[in-house]
Amino acid sequence: MVNSKRSRDNPLFYPNKINAWEAEAAFNGSIVKEESVYKMVYRALSISHLYEDKRLKLSTIGVCQSGDGVHFKKRKQLIVPEQPWEKYGCEDPRLTKLGEGYYIFYTALSNYPPDSDSIKVGLAKSNNLETISEKHLITPFNAKAFVLFPEKIKGKLTALLTVHTDKPPAKICLAQFENESQMWNEKFWYDWYSRLDSQTVPIFHTDNDHLEVGSVPVKTSEGWIVIFCYIQNYFQGKRLFRIDGALLDLENPGKLIGQTVDPLLIPEDHYEIYGIVPNVIFPTSAFIEEGQFFIYYSACDTSICRASITLNDLLAELKHNPTVNPQQKKAELLVRFDKNPIISPIKTHSWESKYTFNAGAILIDNKIHIVYRAMGDDETSVFGYAESHNGVNIEERLDSPIYLTREQFERKTGEGFSGCEDPRLTLIDNTIYMCYTACDGANPPRIALTTIAKNDFVNKRFNWNRPKLISAPGMDNKDSCIVSEKFNNKYLIFHRLPPCIWIDLVTDLDFDDNHYLGGHPLMGPRVNSWDNLKIGLNGPPERTTDGWLLLYHGVAKEDMKYRMGAALLDLNNPLKVVAWLHNPILEPNAWYENEGYRTGTIFSCGQVIKDGILFVYYGAADKYLAVATCPVADILEALKKGK
């Protein structure tokens, strides 16, 4: 993760109501800096009026300048529709200074309302950004977001463009030209288009997402940085407009050498949420200044904003994506106990004859108490108990379950698995709170909460109080726990509504009168990562000097395997994620993680910190219980370095 800092002047550029041609919106600005002057072209949207016998809001392109990159003035209209191929609008300019001339590529609309065949790329050339010297239609096919590199690469003019923006799936592609006239040569483009797949830059995304070029590439010693728009869930689900980055090879810009895992920006501030097109941010320009990487982006198709990132942090983020660069994949932080599994099924115990896995754990009086999920031939989950003094060896394991199904909501009424699953334990004062998943085999699983006195628990008097359901009916909700400290005098509860980890603050734990968990997502799947399908909490986060250490499981779409990851939450405000590891800290590679009910699975419900060592107890292949360890200092150091 990198920290993107929004300008406190945002939005720094907005419509000018005095000028009818830009009274509705002024956005999608593209900037070049020459000495101390920032020159920007931008899309201007007029008020609604009758134009060519149609009532519309016409897009044209304005130009302005600034002395500091924040406060722009001298606004004037620069590009207006003149040719048949741009008759109904000129949108979304991208500006490049190359040699002594300015190249302004923009979206040209030849019809209204526009369809995919009428949306193409146009070019306006200027010697001074005062007047336009010539215009050309560039692409004979549907395309947008054409950016020209600010220098030739191996003697060739080089550009990126987004093909099929309106005939998805869109592709970000590379084109190179021997001379500038090739850029508007129709024969060149038809030949280029016939080899479209080979021209595509392999930016990682899912089939449900949409990409579009944002900024003109920015040259660094490590490669060309390209900021682009990543629309998550474009085809299905709730769309999320992200600003992401890619790193291209300096000499071969068709080669992807880095990509951000997490978005650099998503709509969060009010000006990014409310506007003409709500919840939309779109990058259109970037440059480097005094070690900072500045991104200009539009907000809600209404205004222009700016954010900055430390350049070195951005480059580190780009280069350390293990999906793009497998060599950046780090060794697992957790080390398996060499005598794993520590708990296995016992055939002579009918209640745990098939599976013993997914344990909660709690440290009391220097002893580690382990409550694990167990299943027998009836495929009903109950909880067993074991105790360890050193964290890895089991000193005691009870012959009988300590928690059985008692309520109708956890008794078998269908053909699926039923019972009490995946316990998570929290000690608050002298009471142990246990959240678990209640299943009846017919309805979606729900979260149940029960309690027990600490003194009873440690003395193995398992007098659990009657459980209550704390998640809403009809919703698949699991992976819940209560944090051991209050925040603003409220209890903090984690839970999982697919595919995200959710968090809720509640005033009490009564959950009466049909009051159920709510809240909002804290963390979600990362689209270019090993956890791109769904994620869920391990055990309750652990308090450390650097923040709350949160461990979680993640599932990959590609192989459906469960891996384990780590993040760090702010110590005083755990609603804020301050660090998130790129790489998993444990992957299912051992035999016992691949020989069981579910191959390729590691799933934890609990961990403890004892004598500076983190002990993580996890279910392996949904059959065994194993443990892995590492010094807490090591995992915190990795999180702080962003590895």
- At 35, the amino acid letter reads E
Residue 262 — very low, low, confident or very high, per pLDDT cuts 50/70/90? confident
First to last CA, the chain: 9
Summary mean pLDDT of the chain = 95
Nearest in space to 482 (alpha carbons), one of 458, 528, 517, 438: 517
Residue 1 — very low, low, confident or very high, per pLDDT cuts 50/70/90? low
State residue 238's pLDDT score.
85
State residue 233's pLDDT score.
87
Domains and CATH numbers, the chain: 5-328 (2.115.10.20), 335-641 (2.115.10.20)
As a whole number, mean pLDDT of residues 69-87 equals: 97
How confident is the model over 588-608, as pLDDT tens digits?
999 999 999 999 999 999 999
Residue linked to tokens 């071969």: 252
State residue 630's pLDDT score.
97
State residue 643's pLDDT score.
54
As a whole number, mean pLDDT of residues 117-129 equals: 98
As a whole number, mean pLDDT of residues 539-552 equals: 97
Nearest-angstrom CA–CA distance, 408 and 359: 23
Question: Considering the chain, what percentage of its residues have pLDDT values greater than 90?
Answer: 90
DSSP track, 504-572: EEES-S---TT-----EEEE---TTSTT-SEEEE-SSPEEETTEEEEEEEEE-TTT--EEEEEEEE-SS
Q: What is the pTM of this model?
A: 0.71
Looking at the DSSP bridge assignments, the partners of residue 542 are: 549
Count Cβ atoms within 10 A of the Cβ of residue 508 and give its class: 0-12 exposed, 13-18 middle, 19 or more buried: exposed
As a whole number, mean pLDDT of residues 478-497 equals: 96
Question: Considering the chain, what percentage of its residues have pLDDT values greater than 70?
Answer: 99
The answer to whether the CB of 538 falls within 8 A of the CB of 616 is: yes
The answer to whether the CB of 587 falls within 8 A of the CB of 563 is: yes
The answer to whether the CB of 334 falls within 8 A of the CB of 616 is: yes
Nearest-angstrom CA–CA distance, 278 and 288: 29
State residue 415's pLDDT score.
79
Nearest-angstrom CA–CA distance, 125 and 91: 15
Whether residue 330 has pLDDT greater than 70:
no
How confident is the model over 410-424, as pLDDT tens digits?
999 877 799 999 999
As a whole number, mean pLDDT of residues 146-152 equals: 98
As a whole number, mean pLDDT of residues 261-275 equals: 91
Whether residue 157 has pLDDT greater than 60:
yes
Residue 317 — very low, low, confident or very high, per pLDDT cuts 50/70/90? confident
State residue 329's pLDDT score.
63
- At 45, the amino acid letter reads L
User: Residue 591 in 3-state DSSP?
Assistant: helix
How confident is the model over 162-213, as pLDDT tens digits?
999 999 999 999 999 999 999 999 999 999 999 999 999 999 888 889 999 9
Nearest-angstrom CA–CA distance, 299 and 260: 21
State residue 482's pLDDT score.
98
Residue 149 — very low, low, confident or very high, per pLDDT cuts 50/70/90? very high
State residue 496's pLDDT score.
97
> 3-state SS of 177-213?
ECCHHHHHCHHHHHHHHCCHHHHECCCCCCCCCEEEE
Whether residue 327 has pLDDT greater than 80:
no
As a whole number, mean pLDDT of residues 61-76 equals: 97
Nearest-angstrom CA–CA distance, 260 and 558: 19
Residue 450 — very low, low, confident or very high, per pLDDT cuts 50/70/90? very high
DSSP track, 435-454: EEEEE-SSS--EEEEEEEEH
As a whole number, mean pLDDT of residues 387-416 equals: 94
Q: Tell me the backbone φ, ψ of residue 333, rounded to 5 degrees.
A: -75, -35
Whether residue 234 has pLDDT greater than 60:
yes
